[in-house]
Amino acid sequence: MTIQQPVRRELDGSRLGHNGIFQAIGLLISAWIGVLVGAVLMAATGIGIIGTVGLLTSGIWAVPLFGFVFAAVGVSRARDSAIRQTSTDILPADHPLARTVITLASTLGLPAPLVGIYPDDDLNAFAAGSKPTKAVVSFSKGLTERMPPREIIAIAAHEVAHIANRDMRRMQFATSFQNALTWYFGWTNRGQMLARWLLSTGGELIVLRLSRKREYWADATAAALVGKDAMISALRTLNGDPVKPTAERLAYARLMIRANPRTWFSTHPSIADRITAIEKETYMRRLPYKTQQERPANRPAV
């Protein structure tokens, strides 16, 4: 297999995804803001000043603590859980598809992830795991059978990009903090349940927006690795696939490269928006590169 599109600049994989401290600070601040907003909403339901102050003072430490605990438990099980829930069969390291993924990972300075295939007929793939040393990239059977090799490589690059950018961990922590906030305000009377619903819905919208942003970044990283044309072609093929993800798989929509976009409540941007972002290099120009020098037009297959 040969990728015809030139890769103009070499990505610096060592500088991808290393903003964990900023994410932790952001989550902490978001948790405190959520506690404040939640306390105000609860105050409106008549819990009184003492109750409101109690929510604030205990929530300042309880929500971040439980958010980190929920996240730590979730990420520790992420890879094995995804493999089990999707019935992924792990491929040997010398399998052509596994070699493709491992070579792409090596290009970004990542250890070799597990690579597998799961028995779905739609065109899809996902990456899961707590960190680069404990990750899996899995492709649907339909994708491996019906997609051109050049586009399979582009999809593989997209999934490797999620690993390099630590997106699975990022999303797990964001979701866990949202769940911790919802749990903390888990009261029972009607007014308090309404306040809790408003808070959890707002948190879900923020998490979904983050999920959509991470797809743009993964597309950009993949396009920088294998070329814009290959990534755009793969997205168009995904968009034209008549076989849709099963209802069971939609529960894992945040992991998949393809989902059903639903504006604010979607895990993914529309394919049209993703293609436009690649064409305009909206995110590509903000990636860390080692060099600006041109590479040969025909890059060896990975």
pLDDT, tens only, 165-218: 998 888 888 888 878 877 777 654 555 565 556 666 666 677 777 788 899 999
Q: Which residues does residue 126 pair with via DSSP β-bridges, in sequence order?
A: 138, 256
Strands 114-118, 134-140: pairing is parallel
Contact between 140 and 255 under an 8 Å Cβ cutoff? The reply is no
Q: Which of 42-46, 84-88, 126-130, 261-265 has the lowest mean pLDDT?
A: 261-265
Retrieve residue 248's tokens: 């069971």
Look at residue 297 in the predicted model and tell me its pLDDT.
40
Check whether 139 has a pLDDT greater than 90. yes
Q: In terms of DSSP H, where are the helices of 44-137? A: 48-85, 96-107
Chain-centre distance of CA 1, in angstroms?
Answer: 28
**Residue 160 Cα distances to 3, 218, 219, 220, angstroms:** 17, 8, 10, 12
Confidence of residue 142 (pLDDT cuts 50, 70, 90): very high
Look at residue 292 in the predicted model and tell me its pLDDT.
52
Burial label for 230, CB within 10 Å (0-12, 13-18, 19+), is buried
Query: How far is the C-alpha of 131 from the C-alpha of 114, rounded, in Å?
Result: 12
Confidence of residue 2 (pLDDT cuts 50, 70, 90): very low
Look at residue 263 in the predicted model and tell me its pLDDT.
56
Confidence of residue 76 (pLDDT cuts 50, 70, 90): confident
- Structure-token match 């049209």, residue found: 272
Look at residue 260 in the predicted model and tell me its pLDDT.
58
Q: Ranked by mean pLDDT, which of 100-114, 177-191, 205-219, 260-274 comes out on top?
A: 100-114
